[in-house]
Amino acid sequence: MKSGLISIIIPSYNEANNIELLYKSLNKEFSGIDYDYEILFVNDGSTDDTLLVIKRLANAVPNVKYISFTRNFGKEMAIWAGFQHVKGDAVIVMDADLQHPCCLIKPFIKGYEEGYHQVIAQRNRKGDNRIRSFLSSLYYCAINRIVEVDIRDGAGDFRLLSRKAVDALLMLNEGNRFSKGLFSWIGMDQKIIYYDNVVRKNGNSKWSFSNLLNYGIDGIVSFNNRPLRMCFYTGAFILLASLIYIFVNLIIIMNKGIVEPGYFTTISAVLFLGGIQLVSLGVIGEYIGRIYYETKKRPHYLIHETNVESGEGNANTEPGIHKIHRSWDH
Ligand code: UDP
Ligand code: MG
C-alpha cells in the first residue's frame, strides 16, 4: 500500500448549499482511508455565500484550504489554479454539486495503488435531459473523428491523477484550456470506473445551451487544425466544380449560343459560395481569436484571497506576483 497525501480540488461557483454537505461526505469517506487528505475549494467568483461557508469551514478544519478568485474565471481556470496550489501525491478533481459520488474515492485510490496515473470516473446519462444526451453523443462521435486525442462521452474532470500526471498537466500552460482533451493528451496508464449519473439537487447547472456550444467549439478547435484544412478542401472542391461548370457551359455556348440568362444558377452559386466563404472565415476567425488571446499573456486568473501559504504546492512564488497567474481571459 502507498501512503502520502491526497489533495481534492473542488471548483465552486454559487454552491453555498452544497459545500458543507460535500465536506461531510468526504470526511466520512476518508475516515476509512489510510491517507492524509487536504481539500482545496476554489471559489470562482460566486455571488452567493459560497466563500463565507468555505471560510467558516477552513477556520474550523486545518486541512480545508481555499482560493477565492476576484471574479468568475470559469471552471477550467479553477481547476488549473487548483493544480498549481495542491501538494498531494495524488490529486482528485470533483464538482461541488454532489453529482460526483464520494464513494468512488476508494476505487480511485485502489486504482492509484495499482499504479495507474489517471483513474477516471465515467458516468452514464441516466436522468439527463434526452435532447441534451442525444446532442452530446452526436458531438462525441463527431469530435473523436476530428481530433487526435480520445475524448469519452461521460468521462469528465471527476478523476484521480498521480503527481506525475499533475506535473505533466502543469507543463501545458495554454490559456484556452479544454481539460478533457488535455487529460487525454498527456496519456499515461488509465483506468475507467463506471458509475450511475447523479442528478443535481441544490442550485443550478451553470451550463446554458450557448455555454455548451462554445465549449464544444473549444473542444474541436483547441486540439487540431483540421477544420482549417476542411475549409481548404471544400474551397478546392468547389473551385474545381465551378471550373468544370464554366468549361462545359462555354462549350455549349460556343456550339449553340446563349439559350437562357440562367438566373437560378447564378443565384444558387452566389448563395452557396457566400455561405462557404462565411463559414471558412468563421473557422479562421476562431483560430485567430485564440492566437490573439494567447499573445496577450494575461494572467490566467487573479486571486482575491486564499489561506494557501505561498510556497505551498506548485504556485509561482516570485515576490509580488505569487497571487497572479497567467490565463485565458474570456
Ligand atoms: N463551476 C465553476 N465555475 C463556473 C461554473 C461552474 O467553478 O463558472 C463549478 C460548479 O460550482 C461545479 C462544477 O464547476 O462544482 C460543475 O458545474 P455544473 O454543475 O454547473 O456543471 P454540470 O454538472 O452541469 O456539467
Ligand atoms: Mg453539476
Answer yes or no: is the C-beta of 132 below 6 A from any ligand 1 atom. no
Answer yes or no: is the C-beta of 207 below 6 A from any ligand 1 atom. yes
Answer yes or no: is the C-beta of 44 below 6 A from any ligand 1 atom. yes
Provide the CATH topology of domain 5-224+299-328.
Spore Coat Polysaccharide Biosynthesis Protein SpsA; Chain A (3.90.550)
Instruction: Output the CA 206–ligand 1 centroid distance in Å.
Output: 6
Torsion of CA 283, 288, 290, 291, to 10 degrees: 150
Instruction: Output the CA 265–ligand 2 centroid distance in Å.
Output: 50
Place of cell 466520512: 28
**Which burial class, exposed, middle or buried, applies to 244 when counting CB atoms under 10 A from its CB (0-12, 13-18, 19+)?**
exposed
Can you tell me which atom of ligand 1 is nearest the CA of 95? 15
In contact, 20 and 57? CB cutoff 8 Å: yes
pLDDT of residue 240: 80
pLDDT of residue 296: 79
**Which burial class, exposed, middle or buried, applies to 31 when counting CB atoms under 10 A from its CB (0-12, 13-18, 19+)?**
exposed
Answer yes or no: is the C-beta of 157 below 6 A from any ligand 1 atom. no
Can you tell me which atom of ligand 1 is nearest the CA of 204? 20
Instruction: Output the CA 75–ligand 1 centroid distance in Å.
Output: 6
* pLDDT in single tens digits along all 330 residues of the chain: 566 899 999 999 999 999 999 999 999 989 888 899 999 999 999 999 999 999 999 999 999 999 999 999 999 999 999 999 999 999 999 999 988 999 999 999 999 999 999 999 998 877 777 887 888 888 888 877 777 777 777 788 999 999 999 999 999 988 888 888 899 889 899 899 898 877 777 777 777 777 777 778 887 777 777 787 787 778 878 878 878 887 887 788 888 877 676 766 786 787 778 778 877 887 888 888 888 888 878 888 999 999 888 655 555 433 333 444 434 444
Answer yes or no: is the C-beta of 11 below 6 A from any ligand 1 atom. yes
